[in-house]
Structure 1
Amino acid sequence: MYKVLFILFSAAWMNLNAHNMPIRLPSIISDHAVFQQSATIKLWGWGPATLEISIVSSWAPADTVKALVAKDCTWKATIETPKAGGTHSIEFSCGTDKQIISDIIMGEVWLCSGQSNMEMPVSKIPDFNVVKHNVNNSIRLFQVEQSHDIYFHSDCKGKWMVCDSNTVKQFSAVAFFFGSYLHEKLQTPVGLIHSSWGATSIQPWMPRTAFANEEELIRESHFGTAWAPQETSILYNTMIHPLAPYKLAGVIWYQGESNALKTEEALNYGKLLKNMIQCWRAAFENDFPFYFVQIAPFDGYYPKDAAAYLREQQELTLSVPKTGMVTVGDLVDNVKDIHPLLKTGVGYRLANLALKEVYGFQDIMPYSPKFAGLKIDKNKARIAVSSIGKLSCKGDSINGFRIAGKDKFFYQAKAVLTEEGEIILQSDKVKKTVAVRYCFSNEEVPNLFDINGLPLLAFRTDNW
């Protein structure tokens, strides 16, 4: 009898608490936020069960949006946002309980994620002295606090901040330069959400639904560096899932180095990245553009050619609609350092891709030249390329080319650019060329460029 009374009392107490729960919003919906302009966006949060929340925005004060709170105390609503600019506010009310978020602006919102080369802060790069005094109310930064868990989190720690000398200092350099260049060209506010963790592989950023079954999940699990969380989904659960379905213009991604620590992982990276992109789009209910950085040359602890295989896998991911890739093989100050400091150019190249494909800047040509064909002419190999204008060499000679015969041994080749734009390759050690590779290694830095200053993409013609 006492047990039954206790259960009934507990249920009544929980029900009373559910009805008395105050309105609460996720950290991403807060003061100083940037909302995607001219869009239908989703708002969500928590409140008193079964009651109704009224939502009134300053840009449409006559239009009250109603949201019914479910029995689990969650609610969702959609509202229409105005064109770029601000500032604005939104009031959430239920009875006498009110929550107001203020200093909201409308603009372009991008999620920026990955591992250490995305995480590297502005304070560590050579251009820091140029930007450290930059105060721009039209650029807002949201830093997701690092955490991990095997279970989904409904919220994350973080807050929107106006970009100034203090807030930008520890913010992602790639994300900042990407966003600042977008703002400069679009003359529109930009919101940057940064969620990354150094030394992590791709698997922690993937939901478990990205894998067909438990067997595949276990097979694809990564147990790499010990100083960062590596278990599958452990970062997605806490640093990506709580952000959905915040309306995004797109995502930029800089990751892959940790997956190049094992050759078999490098060779499978494309499948993992494709699955992650599809799952993120599903979670955010948004078929957003997804742009990523091909990992940089590094002469360190990778297995032989593992980074080259991973770069090749990254390029294959371009078969997924609305994806794009920038190469940064030339933006390396020291090939012995896995963290190149030249992040300004990385951000600008990503921004140019977005400006071309999302914002319609037709005069921008953000695509690197690439291999287009191979012809064998006796003991010479003729390489055709697809490029903007003719290629040119920075340096006394073209480096990075190797050719092989049927014995599958690669030898360094002498490379010459023709007037027609072809590249002629030859080596005294190869009588008849069967295969060609260009910068297909962990550490080689390209020195062939198009008229836009973009390097020729690394490639191979074999599948050995």
Structure 2
Amino acid sequence: MHKQFLIISAFAAIALSAQAKVTLPHLISDNMILQQNSDARLWGTDEPDKIVNVSVSWSNDTYNTTTGKDGKWLVKVKTPAAGFTPYSITFDDGEKTVVNNVLSGEVWVCAGQSNMEMPVKGFFNCPLEDYNSVVLDAANSKGVHFVKIPSVMSETPLDDAKCEWKICDSNTVGDASATGYFFARLVSRTLNIPIGLVEANKGGTRVESWLNRENLKKYTKEDLNINHIKANFQGDYLYPLLWGNGTFNPILNYTVKGILFYQGCSNVGDPGDQYSQRLALLVKQWRESFGLGEIPFYFVQIAPYYYENNVNGDQGARLREQQLKAAGIISNSAIVGTNDAVYPYETQQIHPCQKKKVGERLGFLALNKQYGMKQLITDAPTYKSMKISNDTVYVQLENLAGGVSRYEDIKGFELAGTDKVFHKANTYYLWTKGLIITCPEVKKPVAVRYCFRNFEIGNLSNMGGLPLFPFRTDNW
């Protein structure tokens, strides 16, 4: 009888031990990168009212917390300066769980739609330029780690997502966000520190797809009844609310440096400044949800594309205009231009192949504004003012960083008279007067536009090779 009791007790102890073991979210796992020099958050679940001890291999500090009635717990640990020394973290509630090969570095979120989601290996019929060379070179990028959050929908906010951290090398780089990877590769090699990418994105999504229920109800007219949502949209990628709940919410406890964002195609056609206001709202929501202060938000202007099967339409241009407005109203933000990041044959390519140019421009922003490399030229030229004299328009630009890329054969400018019909214009640059624009068909110009069409590639840039942002002087 005594022997039987001991056996039963032993099995009961084993069962209780198995039940009590700390459960970590998938983000807290081997190969993770923690934000350097921060109070990084670690969290998980266990039995209610259970003490969880956390120890880290980079210091003698230990941390402990007690789970709530819901079994959830969270601690903040002080992380070391960035470096390539692998560390471990031990979670102990009576039984130990160890996370290995943890690095300290800089962590950036890669958010948005398909042009951020597009991996190095590309999509079907959407290749990455110089793919093979990128794969071979990835052997030098082991300081870049990435984790892809599965793109899933949920009616309620999710706390976890089935994912795993990967170390970039020739075998894994194909799965990384191309835009994110080129950003991380540049920053990692320049600063000689690890860079972690948390990829939380979904192709085709609108800005409303990422807004939470509170903001959607307060600031939009989106119908949030789940049955109505399914009936109102042809593709689930356009659904409001659900993608943010399922794909972004699981990362909000993670301690990050900033957010990289490439989105907007699915909002083409939005009226007025609706998009710029809602993007500003989304940034405010994310910053409040992360609880890390005014973290940087760097985003990408959508590239030329034949929206509505019309190269010469201006729906895409109007969305780009809203994006530039958003950069002016979102604090601690900056935008990169892509007017030169497409080839003439890519009119119908929603995923242009030149992702290196895009990712590195995001990297230039971070290196300049976050990491002190002020010698980098990061702000692209923008329209400043216009003066009309007889049949000639004189345009002044800002952010030239010392000059323009060419004096002659400048393409992309158009003039219109009172009839509001635009014609291609002849443009050259004179440093004493700025851009000098004329057009034989427009004797009395009243307005000028630059690449203000769905698909039009200009050729004017500043001393840093950054393209002039498309613009218009009219409000037609």
* Same fold (TM > 0.5): yes
Give the alignment of 1:34-45 within 5 angstroms: 34-45=33-44
Q: Among residues 74, 77, 81, which one is paired with 2:75 in the alignment?
A: 77
Give the alignment of 1:37-186 within 5 angstroms: 37-61=36-60, 63-85=61-83, 86-95=85-94, 97-124=95-122, 125-133=128-136, 134-135=138-139, 136-186=141-191
Q: 1:66 to 1:330 in 2, by over 3 A?
A: same
Could you say which residue in structure 1 is the equivalent of 2:296? 289
Matched, 1:402 2:401: no
Q: CA deviation at 1:50?
A: 0.8
Q: SS where residue 253 of structure 1 aligns?
A: strand
Is contact 2:35-2:257 (8 Å) kept?
A: yes
Q: CA deviation at 1:378?
A: 1.9
Q: CA deviation at 1:302?
A: 5.9
Could you say which residue in structure 1 is the equivalent of 2:22? 23
Give the alignment of 1:44-443 within 5 angstroms: 44-61=43-60, 63-85=61-83, 86-95=85-94, 97-124=95-122, 125-133=128-136, 134-135=138-139, 136-211=141-216, 213=218, 216-218=221-223, 226-260=234-268, 263-264=269-270, 267-286=273-292, 287-301=294-308, 304-318=313-327, 319-333=329-343, 334-386=346-398, 387-393=400-406, 397-420=409-432, 422-443=434-455
In structure 1, how many angstroms separate the alpha carbons of the residues matched to 2:355 and 2:23? 38
Q: CA deviation at 1:149?
A: 1.2
Q: 1:419 to 1:222 in 2, by over 3 A?
A: farther
Q: CA deviation at 1:157?
A: 1.2
**2:244 partner letter:** Y
Q: SS where residue 275 of structure 1 aligns?
A: helix
Q: SS where residue 464 of structure 2 aligns?
A: coil
User: Which segments of 5 or more consecutive residues in structure 2 lack a partner in the other structure?
Assistant: 1-14, 123-127
Is contact 2:206-2:240 (8 Å) kept?
A: no
Q: Deviations over 1:110-161 (max 9, x none)?
A: 0101111111111231222112132333211111112111111110111111
Q: CA deviation at 1:266?
A: 7.5
In structure 2, how many angstroms separate the alpha carbons of the residues matched to 1:210 and 1:446? 38
Q: CA deviation at 1:20?
A: 4.4
In structure 1, how many angstroms separate the alpha carbons of the residues matched to 2:473 and 2:214? 35
What's the C-alpha RMSD, in Å, of the aligned pairs?
A: 2.3
In structure 2, how many angstroms separate the alpha carbons of the residues matched to 1:285 and 1:160? 23
TM-score by structure 1 length? Answer: 0.90
Q: 1:18 to 1:212 in 2, by over 3 A?
A: farther
Q: 1:77 to 1:167 in 2, by over 3 A?
A: same
Q: Deviations over 1:304-323 (max 9, x none)?
A: 31111110111111121111
Q: Which moved more, 1:224-233 or 1:172-181?
A: 224-233
Could you say which residue in structure 1 is the equivalent of 2:6? none
**2:198 partner letter:** I
TM-score by structure 2 length? Answer: 0.88
In structure 2, how many angstroms separate the alpha carbons of the residues matched to 1:432 and 1:391? 27
Is contact 1:389-1:450 (8 Å) kept?
A: yes
**1:190 partner letter:** I
Q: CA deviation at 1:222?
A: 11
Q: CA deviation at 1:215?
A: 6.1
In structure 2, how many angstroms separate the alpha carbons of the residues matched to 1:153 and 1:327? 34
Q: SS where residue 321 of structure 2 aligns?
A: helix
Is contact 1:91-1:101 (8 Å) kept?
A: yes
Q: CA deviation at 1:337?
A: 1.2
Q: CA deviation at 1:432?
A: 2.5
Q: SS where residue 229 of structure 1 aligns?
A: helix
In structure 2, how many angstroms separate the alpha carbons of the residues matched to 1:246 and 1:264? 32
Q: SS where residue 223 of structure 2 aligns?
A: helix
Q: 1:265 to 1:148 in 2, by over 3 A?
A: farther
**1:237 partner letter:** N
Q: Deviations over 1:250-300 (max 9, x none)?
A: 11111111111xx23585211111111111111111221010100001124
Q: CA deviation at 1:183?
A: 0.5
Q: CA deviation at 1:437?
A: 1.0
**2:165 partner letter:** W
User: Which segments of 5 or more consecutive residues in structure 1 lack a partner in the other structure?
Assistant: 1-15
**1:131 partner letter:** V
Q: CA deviation at 1:362?
A: 1.0
Q: CA deviation at 1:21?
A: 4.1
**1:47 partner letter:** D
Q: CA deviation at 1:217?
A: 3.3
**2:116 partner letter:** M
**1:138 partner letter:** G
Q: Which moved more, 1:278-287 or 1:117-126?
A: 117-126
Q: CA deviation at 1:224?
A: 8.6
